[in-house]
Amino acid sequence: MDIHEHQAKEILAGFGVPVPRGGVAYSPEQAGYRARELGGAAWVVKAQIHSGGRGEAGGVKFCQTEEEVRDCAAELFGKQLVTKQTGAAGKGVYRLWVEEASDIQRELYLGFVLDRKTERIMIVASAHGGMEIEDLAEKDPDSLRRMVVDPAVGLAEFQARELAFSLGLTGGQIAQMVNVLRACYRAYRDLDAMMVEINPLVIRGGGDLVALDAKMSFDTNALYRRPQVSALRDPSQEDPREAMAADHGLAYVGLEGDIGCIINGAGLAMATMDMIKLAGGEPANFLDIGGGASPDRVCKAFRTVLSDPNVSVILVNIFAGINRCDWIAEGVVQAYRDLGLHLPVVVRLAGTNVAEGQQILQASGLPIVTPDTLAEAADAAVSLRPQPAAA
């Protein structure tokens, strides 16, 4: 789960990371009030969306009067901001962050991520901030510094000092960087984060370090024990299909195709999507209904897949172990009747109670295609798509 910049800054500030003063605004008038409240001679107005690259897309504005702040806010509110990370549809701007302007002398990059290879938290830092990490890795790979943290020990002070030295910091800046690093590590560890990124971490004219921008994402599977983090979720920034799936407790990722997929198991779901591509089709989604799926859960999965207007065929592929094929079949029949299904449905069942499941589907009298193999199921789904009209 991602959160907004202002939320990440509030969290990190609570752990001891210095951040510029600022305030959230939900209207142009409130943005002007925030500027007046902050005081000073200049402010930065930032669109709050779950995406990087906001500055290049016009989502970050430098303002020198309250009137400019209100005008920029009026321009940004309700806008679909398109960045290189959002795709062509962009993301809607429904809140802003108004921040005091900073006298920037130098920009650094700092990120904490999970390195799955070493099964450790990895710190990635660079003496050149302000760019996305992908751009840094491509344009200046030698500037990247990496450090792995042993979870049994945590981030030791000597490690933090070593990293600060490698970034060219001196004097009191080293002590400040040590504090920032250790604060970010505690936030990552204590809140089940998947990423903490400060880009840029700036050195201001007075020599102090400040997190000018911040991003955090969290392990969705751990949100049940982090209610304070779960409360920060913003559904307006999510794919509506994925938000609906999350509300039903389903693992779903929306794609661009037209063959809706309902699968059990992430590996089988990936293999199914590969087979659809091999057969000449395009999957509309990744959806894993998980183990022990009841008929009602299967029906919810159908609702989720059907929330995508591009779906023209539904492919159900179940290899039952913990699941049972008769439960899946009952769910398919229930979905047909409750949802008034009119799209072609392909159901391939294998594993526990497969004979019972196939019998339920056959006895329903519904026009459900029931191939025996995954390859046959993928071919059937592709063949049942509406054919483009002849020129």
When pLDDT is cut at 50, 70 and 90, the band that residue 388 belongs to is: low
300 is a domain residue: yes
Residue finishing a domain among 199, 229, 259:
229
234 is a domain residue: no
Statement to judge: residues 372 and 297 lie in one domain = yes
Statement to judge: residues 376 and 244 lie in one domain = yes
The pLDDT > 90 percentage for the chain reads: 62
Both tokens assigned to 8: 């990440």
Statement to judge: residues 132 and 244 lie in one domain = no
Q: What is the DSSP letter of 142?
A: G
Q: What is the CATH number of the domain that holds 194?
A: 3.30.470.20
Which one of 109, 188, 252, 336 is the catalytic residue?
109
What is the SS3 assignment for 124?
Answer: strand
Residue indicated by tokens 């609702």? 303
Which residue ranges are tagged as binding site for substrate? 264
Statement to judge: residues 87 and 143 lie in one domain = no
Is residue 252 part of the annotated active site? The answer reads no
Statement to judge: residues 122 and 80 lie in one domain = no
Mean pLDDT of 311-340: 88
- Whole-number Å distance between alpha carbons of 354 and 360: 10
The pLDDT > 70 percentage for the chain reads: 97
252 is a domain residue: yes
Residue finishing a domain among 100, 116, 137:
100
Q: Is the peptide bond before 200 cis (omega within 30 degrees of 0)?
A: yes
When pLDDT is cut at 50, 70 and 90, the band that residue 391 belongs to is: very low
Which one of 5, 185, 188, 197 is the catalytic residue?
197
pLDDT value for 238:
78
283 is a domain residue: yes
Signed CA dihedral, 234, 244, 91, 184: sign only: positive
39 is a domain residue: yes
Domain carrying residue 89: 21-100
5 is a domain residue: no
pLDDT at 262 over 80: yes
How many domains would you assign to the chain?
A: 3
Mean pLDDT of 293-310: 86
Which residue ranges are tagged as binding site? 46, 53-55, 99, 102, 107, 199, 213, 264
Statement to judge: residues 115 and 211 lie in one domain = yes
What is the end-to-end Cα distance of the chain in Å, rounded? 45
3 is a domain residue: no
9 is a domain residue: no
Q: What is the CATH number of the domain that holds 54?
A: 3.30.1490.20
Q: What is the CATH number of the domain that holds 281?
A: 3.40.50.261
pLDDT at 58 over 60: yes
Statement to judge: residues 247 and 173 lie in one domain = no
Statement to judge: residues 266 and 194 lie in one domain = no
Q: Say which range, 20-34, 289-303, 306-320, has the weakest mean pLDDT.
A: 289-303
Q: Say which range, 202-211, 231-240, 344-353, has the weakest mean pLDDT.
A: 231-240
- Whole-number Å distance between alpha carbons of 157 and 37: 38
What is the SS3 assignment for 162?
Answer: helix
Burial of 87 (0-12, 13-18, 19+ CB in 10 A): exposed
Q: Under 8 Å CB-to-CB from 360, ≥6 apart: which residues?
A: 326, 329, 330, 333
Statement to judge: residues 189 and 153 lie in one domain = yes
Global model pTM greater than 0.85: no
pLDDT value for 206:
87
pLDDT value for 295:
80
Statement to judge: residues 140 and 66 lie in one domain = no
Which residue ranges are tagged as binding site for ATP? 46, 53-55, 99, 102, 107
Contact indicator for 23, 34 with CB cutoff of 8 Å: yes
Statement to judge: residues 257 and 324 lie in one domain = yes
Statement to judge: residues 376 and 265 lie in one domain = yes
Residue finishing a domain among 65, 100, 135:
100
Which residue ranges are tagged as binding site for Mg(2+)? 199, 213
Q: Which residues pair with 260 in a beta bridge?
A: 314
Is residue 197 part of the annotated active site? The answer reads yes
